[in-house]
Chains A and B, each alone.
Chain A
Amino acid sequence: MIAAKRVLPSVAVIALIIGVWWAIVVATGSVVFPTPWQVVTGTIELIRDGTLWGHIGASLFRVGTGFLLAVTVAVPLGLWMGWVNGAYITLNPLFQMLRPISPIAWIPIAILWFGVGNLSPIFLIFISSVFPMVVQTIAGVHTIEKRYLRAAANFGVSRATLFRQVVIPAVLPQIIVGMRIGLGVAWLVVVAAEMIALRSGLGYLIIDSRNAGNRYDLVIAGMIIIGLIGLLLDGLMRLLEGLRVVRWRYAH
């Protein structure tokens, strides 16, 4: 009952939007803009001929590869920059300058360096998700409470123990926040990147549907699928927040 009460308002808003959309399309007699039902039939068509799974798979593969690459680089780099002040003051200004450049601005360079294959979108996803994760990890190291570091110093533990049992677990919640942001940005970017060239992926589906005969029902179907998968990815990341080792951070 309580769950229903929480979900009800958002479902009502979505239903209202669909209703208004439908009414307007019918009232204006538009031949290009589809009704919600045409979007549904378009989606069924994509599922039937099997192309939808191919596009989803291609997009997820690119995001997965680029994002995991970014995690592998960002976490050690962020820990190092957070811990060693010399590394921080040397590299942080450069990162702060690179960070506000939209990943979209990198598209021409990506094409120049990596061509129009899978490597370009993977590179763009890497670029887009690596910075927020580095920044969050550094912030995590910088906000470790002094009393914990002092306790570690008091017990005279080795550097390895200090990192394994104090620094890394203390920063882990922030790393997970960084990963959530990183994956969100990565999903935004893959669609944009796939609009440029390539012959697969949800971004390609949208652009191709428009170019090949104004199939706006498929354009909107693609958009909705992108939204749903994004929601799902964020949900997966939120599961990480429930891990026992980080629950202390969210328990209050």
Chain B
Amino acid sequence: MPTKILVDGIGKSFATDQGTLHVLDSISLEVGDGEIVAIVGPSGCGKSTMMNIIAGFDRPDRGSVRVDGVVQSKPSSRGILISQAGSVFPWLTVQQNLMFGLNGRAHDEKKQLADHYAEMVGLKGFEARYPHELSGGMLKRAELARALVVKPEILYMDEPFSALDALLHLRMRNELLRILEQERHTVLLITHDVEEAIHVANRIVVLSIRPTTIQATFDVPFAHPRKLSSAPVQELRTQILRELGVDGYDA
């Protein structure tokens, strides 16, 4: 598997009223082409800062991020970020949102692509709706479709489904797996949900508290569809929770 993303010793600090805040210490990570890597860590550990740097929205103080060997200096449509807050434009319809990122194509072609992906995420019949007319789950589907339609090589997902209720969360996860089977993407998924990480990822990276470093890495060798209640899965889950220092799982 060729390397897609190469994170090489990135560090980041912020100046605050209480002095310098060291957020990221020295993080190195290699993500293979088509790999799904989940990043878990305690809240406030700088996961989002790390994601912003990797996706090109922010620059590291030290180190570098390379995508296909080229230094990532600004965001590009080759890697789309999906965040918890969501960024579907409320003033555009679902279809207009999906067509938004399709630069330099004929209008009909844009429309066709938009409708194809709307159907893929289960939004057929809702193309003319505005986001405020959609439910939370449908809004996430629209966001996902808008990302997929530009055929990005990488999906950067920062707690994408955290704002949804438990049932919807599980359903969206299954949807995501189904879509990733159809379209090959390299995925970097930030989550605080260990179960979600095991469900989706090929590899799980556990981060430490600030200043953040990579504390442990776990391979997830189970074939899809994964049965989350199986003994090996539960064993892996216990190991990761122990690594995160959750009470009752101490070594």
Complex interface: chain A residues within 8 A of B132 (CB): 247-248, 251-252
Q: Kindly report which residue of chain B lies nearest to residue A155, judged by CB atoms.
A: B101
1/0 contact string of B102-132 vs chain A (CB within 8 Å): 0100000000000000000000000000111
Q: Are B103 and A158 in contact (CB under 8 A)?
A: yes
A contact face: mostly helix, strand, loop, or mixed: helix
Considering the chains assembled together, what is the distance between the CA atoms of A154 and B76 in angstroms? 5
List the one stretch of B21-29, B86-94, B170-178, B236-244 in contact with chain A: B86-94
Contact of B80 among A148, A155, A157, A166 (CB under 8 A): A155
Considering the chains assembled together, what is the distance between the CA atoms of A16 and B249 in angstroms? 75
With A156-B103, A248-B131 in contact, is A172–B80 under 8 Å at CB? no
Indicate whether A63 reaches chain B with its CB closer than 8 angstroms: no
Considering the chains assembled together, what is the distance between the CA atoms of A122 and B90 in angstroms? 37
Considering the chains assembled together, what is the distance between the CA atoms of A150 and B52 in angstroms? 11
Q: Are A147 and B77 in contact (CB under 8 A)?
A: no
Considering the chains assembled together, what is the distance between the CA atoms of A170 and B91 in angstroms? 7
Shortest CB-to-CB span from A218 to chain B, Å, is: 48
Indicate whether A196 reaches chain B with its CB closer than 8 angstroms: no
Q: Are B91 and A151 in contact (CB under 8 A)?
A: no
Q: Kindly report which residue of chain A lies nearest to residue B57, judged by CB atoms.
A: A150
Q: How large is the interface on B (under 10, 10 to 19, 20 to 34, 35 or more residues)?
A: 20 to 34
Q: Are A157 and B91 in contact (CB under 8 A)?
A: no
Q: Are B100 and A155 in contact (CB under 8 A)?
A: yes
Q: Kindly report which residue of chain A lies nearest to residue B103, judged by CB atoms.
A: A157
Contact of B150 among A147, A155, A246 (CB under 8 A): A155
The listed residue with most A CB atoms (<10 A of its CB), out of B77, B83, B89, B91, is B91
Complex interface: chain B residues within 8 A of A156 (CB): 75-77, 101, 103
Number of interface residues of A (CB under 8 A): 24
Complex interface: chain B residues within 8 A of A169 (CB): 89, 91-92
Indicate whether B163 reaches chain A with its CB closer than 8 angstroms: no
Shortest CB-to-CB span from B37 to chain A, Å, is: 20
Indicate whether B81 reaches chain A with its CB closer than 8 angstroms: yes
Indicate whether A143 reaches chain B with its CB closer than 8 angstroms: no
Indicate whether A18 reaches chain B with its CB closer than 8 angstroms: no
Shortest CB-to-CB span from B221 to chain A, Å, is: 33
Excluding A147-B85, A154-B101, 5 further A-B contacts by CB distance (< 8 Å) are A154-B57, A154-B75, A158-B103, A247-B130, A247-B132
- Name B's A-contacting residues (CB within 8 A): 55, 57, 74-77, 80-81, 83, 85-87, 89-92, 96, 100-101, 103, 130-132, 150
Query: What are the 7 A-B residue pairs with the smallest beta carbon separation, nearest first?
Result: A155-B101, A169-B91, A151-B87, A248-B90, A147-B87, A251-B132, A154-B75
26 pairs across A/B with beta carbons < 8 Å?
A: A147-B83, A147-B85, A147-B86, A147-B87, A148-B89, A150-B81, A153-B57, A153-B75, A154-B57, A154-B76, A155-B80, A155-B100, A156-B76, A156-B101, A156-B103, A157-B100, A161-B100, A161-B103, A166-B89, A169-B89, A169-B92, A247-B130, A247-B132, A248-B130, A249-B90, A251-B132
